[in-house]
Protein backbone atom coordinates (compact mmCIF):
# COMPACT_ATOMS: atom_id res chain seq x y z
CA UNK A 1 0.00 0.00 0.00
CA UNK A 2 1.31 3.39 -0.88
CA UNK A 3 0.64 6.71 0.79
CA UNK A 4 0.37 8.58 -2.53
CA UNK A 5 -3.13 9.78 -3.47
CA UNK A 6 -4.71 11.40 -6.45
CA UNK A 7 -5.36 15.04 -5.69
CA UNK A 8 -6.68 16.21 -9.04
CA UNK A 9 -6.63 15.60 -12.74
CA UNK A 10 -6.59 18.78 -14.81
CA UNK A 11 -8.34 19.18 -18.15
CA UNK A 12 -7.69 22.24 -20.30
CA UNK A 13 -10.86 23.51 -22.00
CA UNK A 14 -11.56 26.14 -24.60
CA UNK A 15 -15.15 26.73 -23.48
CA UNK A 16 -15.92 26.47 -19.75
CA UNK A 17 -19.69 26.64 -20.27
CA UNK A 18 -19.65 23.75 -22.76
CA UNK A 19 -17.27 21.80 -20.51
CA UNK A 20 -19.57 22.18 -17.49
CA UNK A 21 -22.53 21.25 -19.66
CA UNK A 22 -20.80 17.96 -20.45
CA UNK A 23 -19.05 17.00 -17.20
CA UNK A 24 -21.61 18.34 -14.73
CA UNK A 25 -25.02 18.51 -16.38
CA UNK A 26 -24.79 15.59 -18.79
CA UNK A 27 -22.35 13.21 -17.12
CA UNK A 28 -23.48 14.06 -13.59
CA UNK A 29 -20.30 15.01 -11.71
CA UNK A 30 -20.89 17.42 -8.82
CA UNK A 31 -19.26 20.83 -9.10
CA UNK A 32 -17.39 22.02 -6.00
CA UNK A 33 -17.72 25.80 -5.60
CA UNK A 34 -18.08 28.32 -8.39
CA UNK A 35 -15.92 29.12 -11.40
CA UNK A 36 -12.89 30.97 -10.02
CA UNK A 37 -10.73 33.52 -11.80
CA UNK A 38 -7.02 33.24 -11.11
CA UNK A 39 -5.62 36.41 -12.68
CA UNK A 40 -2.02 35.59 -11.61
CA UNK A 41 -2.13 32.56 -13.91
CA UNK A 42 -4.54 34.03 -16.46
CA UNK A 43 -7.00 31.17 -16.12
CA UNK A 44 -10.53 30.43 -14.98
CA UNK A 45 -10.90 27.18 -13.10
CA UNK A 46 -13.73 24.95 -11.89
CA UNK A 47 -13.62 21.79 -9.81
CA UNK A 48 -15.71 18.65 -10.13
CA UNK A 49 -15.83 16.08 -7.36
CA UNK A 50 -14.41 12.62 -8.01
CA UNK A 51 -14.58 10.86 -4.64
CA UNK A 52 -11.79 12.35 -2.51
CA UNK A 53 -10.16 13.83 -5.61
CA UNK A 54 -11.21 16.37 -8.22
CA UNK A 55 -11.27 17.05 -11.90
CA UNK A 56 -9.99 20.60 -12.46
CA UNK A 57 -11.25 22.35 -15.58
CA UNK A 58 -8.86 25.09 -16.72
CA UNK A 59 -9.66 27.72 -19.32
CA UNK A 60 -6.95 30.21 -20.28
CA UNK A 61 -8.04 33.86 -20.22
CA UNK A 62 -5.07 35.25 -22.16
CA UNK A 63 -3.19 33.90 -25.14
CA UNK A 64 0.34 34.02 -23.74
CA UNK A 65 0.23 31.77 -20.67
CA UNK A 66 1.69 28.29 -20.62
CA UNK A 67 -1.80 26.77 -20.56
CA UNK A 68 -2.93 28.95 -23.48
CA UNK A 69 0.07 27.81 -25.52
CA UNK A 70 -0.66 24.19 -24.63
CA UNK A 71 -4.27 24.64 -25.75
CA UNK A 72 -3.19 26.30 -29.01
CA UNK A 73 -0.68 23.53 -29.74
CA UNK A 74 -2.47 20.36 -28.59
CA UNK A 75 -6.12 21.34 -28.33
CA UNK A 76 -8.36 20.80 -25.30
CA UNK A 77 -7.99 17.63 -23.25
CA UNK A 78 -6.10 16.03 -20.38
CA UNK A 79 -3.47 18.47 -19.16
CA UNK A 80 -1.80 17.37 -15.93
CA UNK A 81 -1.97 14.92 -13.07
CA UNK A 82 -1.56 16.03 -9.46
CA UNK A 83 -0.60 13.47 -6.82
CA UNK A 84 -0.50 14.17 -3.09
CA UNK A 85 2.61 12.94 -1.30
CA UNK A 86 3.33 12.99 2.45
CA UNK A 87 6.75 14.70 2.21
CA UNK A 88 7.17 16.79 -0.93
CA UNK A 89 10.74 17.94 -0.29
CA UNK A 90 11.97 14.39 0.35
CA UNK A 91 10.26 13.17 -2.83
CA UNK A 92 11.77 15.98 -4.92
CA UNK A 93 15.22 15.23 -3.51
CA UNK A 94 14.81 11.56 -4.35
CA UNK A 95 13.69 12.27 -7.91
CA UNK A 96 16.51 14.77 -8.42
CA UNK A 97 19.06 12.25 -7.10
CA UNK A 98 17.79 9.71 -9.62
CA UNK A 99 18.37 12.18 -12.45
CA UNK A 100 14.80 13.25 -13.16
CA UNK A 101 14.20 16.84 -14.21
CA UNK A 102 12.04 19.10 -12.04
CA UNK A 103 10.30 22.22 -13.35
CA UNK A 104 10.24 23.68 -9.81
CA UNK A 105 13.53 22.93 -8.06
CA UNK A 106 12.04 24.11 -4.77
CA UNK A 107 8.35 23.79 -3.86
CA UNK A 108 6.06 26.72 -4.51
CA UNK A 109 3.54 27.69 -1.84
CA UNK A 110 0.01 29.03 -2.21
CA UNK A 111 -3.20 28.82 -0.19
CA UNK A 112 -1.87 26.41 2.41
CA UNK A 113 -0.38 23.97 -0.02
CA UNK A 114 3.06 23.26 -1.39
CA UNK A 115 3.55 21.94 -4.86
CA UNK A 116 6.13 21.37 -7.57
CA UNK A 117 5.92 20.22 -11.16
CA UNK A 118 8.03 17.43 -12.64
CA UNK A 119 9.07 17.87 -16.28
CA UNK A 120 7.04 15.73 -18.73
CA UNK A 121 10.24 14.37 -20.26
CA UNK A 122 11.05 12.82 -16.88
CA UNK A 123 7.52 11.48 -16.30
CA UNK A 124 6.91 9.72 -19.60
CA UNK A 125 5.23 12.67 -21.26
CA UNK A 126 2.96 13.43 -18.31
CA UNK A 127 3.02 16.89 -16.75
CA UNK A 128 3.06 15.77 -13.12
CA UNK A 129 2.36 17.98 -10.13
CA UNK A 130 3.33 16.75 -6.69
CA UNK A 131 1.45 18.29 -3.82
CA UNK A 132 1.66 18.40 -0.04
CA UNK A 133 -0.96 19.99 2.19
CA UNK A 134 0.56 22.12 4.95
CA UNK B 1 -22.51 13.80 -3.83
CA UNK B 2 -22.24 11.86 -7.03
CA UNK B 3 -22.02 8.11 -7.51
CA UNK B 4 -19.40 8.41 -10.25
CA UNK B 5 -15.90 7.22 -9.33
CA UNK B 6 -12.51 7.23 -10.97
CA UNK B 7 -11.70 3.75 -12.17
CA UNK B 8 -8.41 4.39 -13.91
CA UNK B 9 -6.33 6.94 -15.70
CA UNK B 10 -4.41 5.56 -18.66
CA UNK B 11 -0.96 6.71 -19.72
CA UNK B 12 0.51 5.60 -23.03
CA UNK B 13 4.22 4.83 -22.76
CA UNK B 14 6.92 4.03 -25.29
CA UNK B 15 9.10 2.16 -22.80
CA UNK B 16 7.37 0.12 -20.08
CA UNK B 17 10.61 -0.53 -18.18
CA UNK B 18 11.46 3.18 -18.01
CA UNK B 19 7.86 4.00 -17.10
CA UNK B 20 7.87 1.53 -14.19
CA UNK B 21 11.25 2.85 -13.11
CA UNK B 22 9.70 6.29 -12.78
CA UNK B 23 6.18 5.64 -11.47
CA UNK B 24 6.92 2.63 -9.25
CA UNK B 25 10.57 2.67 -8.23
CA UNK B 26 11.22 6.42 -8.10
CA UNK B 27 7.83 7.91 -7.30
CA UNK B 28 6.75 5.03 -5.10
CA UNK B 29 3.38 3.90 -6.48
CA UNK B 30 2.58 0.23 -5.83
CA UNK B 31 2.25 -2.00 -8.87
CA UNK B 32 -0.82 -4.28 -8.91
CA UNK B 33 0.00 -7.59 -10.60
CA UNK B 34 2.52 -8.14 -13.35
CA UNK B 35 2.87 -6.64 -16.80
CA UNK B 36 0.12 -8.24 -18.91
CA UNK B 37 0.09 -8.83 -22.65
CA UNK B 38 -3.24 -8.17 -24.35
CA UNK B 39 -2.66 -9.55 -27.87
CA UNK B 40 -6.23 -8.70 -28.98
CA UNK B 41 -5.40 -5.02 -28.54
CA UNK B 42 -1.69 -5.30 -29.33
CA UNK B 43 -0.64 -3.73 -26.04
CA UNK B 44 1.21 -4.55 -22.86
CA UNK B 45 -0.36 -3.06 -19.74
CA UNK B 46 0.60 -2.56 -16.10
CA UNK B 47 -1.44 -1.15 -13.23
CA UNK B 48 -0.31 1.09 -10.40
CA UNK B 49 -2.45 1.59 -7.33
CA UNK B 50 -3.89 5.02 -6.63
CA UNK B 51 -6.19 4.53 -3.65
CA UNK B 52 -9.29 2.75 -4.95
CA UNK B 53 -8.34 3.64 -8.53
CA UNK B 54 -5.41 2.83 -10.78
CA UNK B 55 -2.98 4.32 -13.21
CA UNK B 56 -2.84 2.05 -16.28
CA UNK B 57 0.39 2.12 -18.25
CA UNK B 58 -0.15 1.05 -21.87
CA UNK B 59 2.60 0.24 -24.33
CA UNK B 60 1.64 -0.65 -27.90
CA UNK B 61 3.22 -3.84 -29.24
CA UNK B 62 2.43 -3.23 -32.90
CA UNK B 63 2.52 -0.11 -35.00
CA UNK B 64 -1.02 -0.21 -36.40
CA UNK B 65 -3.28 -0.14 -33.33
CA UNK B 66 -5.18 2.96 -32.25
CA UNK B 67 -2.88 3.39 -29.26
CA UNK B 68 0.23 3.01 -31.46
CA UNK B 69 -1.06 5.70 -33.79
CA UNK B 70 -1.84 7.96 -30.84
CA UNK B 71 1.71 7.45 -29.53
CA UNK B 72 3.23 8.16 -32.95
CA UNK B 73 1.16 11.33 -33.36
CA UNK B 74 1.13 12.83 -29.86
CA UNK B 75 3.97 11.12 -28.04
CA UNK B 76 3.75 9.40 -24.66
CA UNK B 77 1.54 10.88 -21.95
CA UNK B 78 -1.99 10.97 -20.57
CA UNK B 79 -4.23 8.89 -22.85
CA UNK B 80 -7.70 8.34 -21.43
CA UNK B 81 -9.84 8.67 -18.34
CA UNK B 82 -12.12 5.87 -17.14
CA UNK B 83 -15.00 6.66 -14.82
CA UNK B 84 -17.19 4.04 -13.15
CA UNK B 85 -20.92 4.69 -13.34
CA UNK B 86 -23.74 2.73 -11.67
CA UNK B 87 -25.83 2.23 -14.85
CA UNK B 88 -23.80 2.40 -18.03
CA UNK B 89 -26.66 1.89 -20.48
CA UNK B 90 -28.75 4.66 -18.90
CA UNK B 91 -25.78 7.03 -18.98
CA UNK B 92 -25.06 6.26 -22.64
CA UNK B 93 -28.72 6.83 -23.53
CA UNK B 94 -28.69 10.14 -21.72
CA UNK B 95 -25.51 11.32 -23.44
CA UNK B 96 -26.83 10.20 -26.83
CA UNK B 97 -30.12 12.03 -26.23
CA UNK B 98 -28.17 15.20 -25.48
CA UNK B 99 -26.36 14.93 -28.80
CA UNK B 100 -22.97 13.69 -27.64
CA UNK B 101 -21.09 11.26 -29.86
CA UNK B 102 -20.27 7.78 -28.58
CA UNK B 103 -17.48 5.63 -30.00
CA UNK B 104 -19.26 2.47 -28.79
CA UNK B 105 -23.00 2.81 -29.35
CA UNK B 106 -23.61 -0.28 -27.26
CA UNK B 107 -21.43 -1.34 -24.32
CA UNK B 108 -18.65 -3.83 -24.92
CA UNK B 109 -18.11 -6.62 -22.41
CA UNK B 110 -14.90 -8.26 -21.24
CA UNK B 111 -13.72 -9.93 -18.03
CA UNK B 112 -16.84 -9.14 -16.01
CA UNK B 113 -17.02 -5.51 -16.93
CA UNK B 114 -18.98 -3.44 -19.41
CA UNK B 115 -17.53 -0.34 -20.94
CA UNK B 116 -17.97 2.17 -23.72
CA UNK B 117 -15.89 5.06 -24.99
CA UNK B 118 -17.20 8.58 -25.56
CA UNK B 119 -15.69 10.46 -28.50
CA UNK B 120 -13.12 13.11 -27.46
CA UNK B 121 -14.92 15.73 -29.52
CA UNK B 122 -17.93 15.29 -27.23
CA UNK B 123 -15.88 15.29 -24.01
CA UNK B 124 -13.78 18.42 -24.54
CA UNK B 125 -10.84 16.59 -26.10
CA UNK B 126 -10.75 13.85 -23.47
CA UNK B 127 -11.00 10.22 -24.54
CA UNK B 128 -13.48 9.12 -21.89
CA UNK B 129 -14.26 5.51 -21.00
CA UNK B 130 -17.37 4.80 -18.96
CA UNK B 131 -17.34 1.56 -17.04
CA UNK B 132 -19.76 -0.58 -15.08
CA UNK B 133 -18.79 -3.66 -13.10
CA UNK B 134 -21.17 -6.55 -13.64
Fold entry, domain B85-134? 3.30.720
Kindly list the residues from chain A whose CB atom is less than 8 angstroms away from the CB atom of residue B98: 26
The Cα-based distances of A38 to A59, A76, B64, B110 in angstroms read 10, 19, 42, 43
Residues of chain B with CATH 3.30.720: 85-134
Chain A partners within 8 Å of B82 (Cβ) = none
CATH 3.10.180.10 domain span(s) along chain B: 8-81
> Three-state SS string across B8-73, please?
EEEEECCCHHHHHHHHHHHCCCCEEEEEEEEHHHCEEEEEEEECCEEEEEEEECCCCCHHHHHHHH
Closest residue to A2, CB basis, from B15, B49, B123:
B49
pLDDT tens digits, A26-56: 999 999 999 999 998 899 999 999 988 999 9
pLDDT at A21 over 90: yes
Asked if residue A1 has pLDDT above 80, the reply is no
Residues of A in contact with B81 (CB under 8 A): 9, 78
User: A39 by DSSP, 3-state: which?
Assistant: helix
Could you say which of 3.40.1030.10, 3.40.50.80, 3.10.180.10, 3.30.460.10 is the CATH number of the domain covering B8-81?
Answer: 3.10.180.10
Q: Is the pLDDT of residue B14 over 60?
A: yes
Kindly report the nearest CA distance between residue A111 and chain B, in angstroms. 25
Instruction: Determine whether the interchain pair A81/B76 forms a contact, defined as Cβ–Cβ distance below 8 Å.
Output: no
Q: Which ipTM value was assigned to this complex?
A: 0.93
Which runs of E-coded beta strand occur in chain A?
A: 5-12, 31-38, 43-50, 53-60, 77-84, 108-110, 113-118, 128-133
Contact criterion met (CB < 8 Å) for A2 and B78 = no
Residue in A closest to B1 by C-alpha: A30
Give B110's pLDDT tier (boundaries 50, 70, 90): confident
Round to whole Å and give the CA distance between B3 and A50: 9
Interface contact B50-A4, CB threshold 8 A: yes
Question: Closest chain B residue to A17 measured between Cα atoms?
Answer: B124
pLDDT beyond 60 at B1 = no
With contact defined as beta carbons under 8 Å apart, do A26 and B94 qualify? Answer: yes
Query: pLDDT tens-digit profile of B71-96?
Result: 999 999 999 999 999 999 999 999 99
Nearest to A26 among B28, B30, B94 (CB): B94
Amino acid sequence: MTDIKLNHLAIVVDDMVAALRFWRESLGLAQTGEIESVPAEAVDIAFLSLGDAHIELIQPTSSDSGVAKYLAKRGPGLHHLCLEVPDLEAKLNELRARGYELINETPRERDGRRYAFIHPKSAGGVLLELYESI
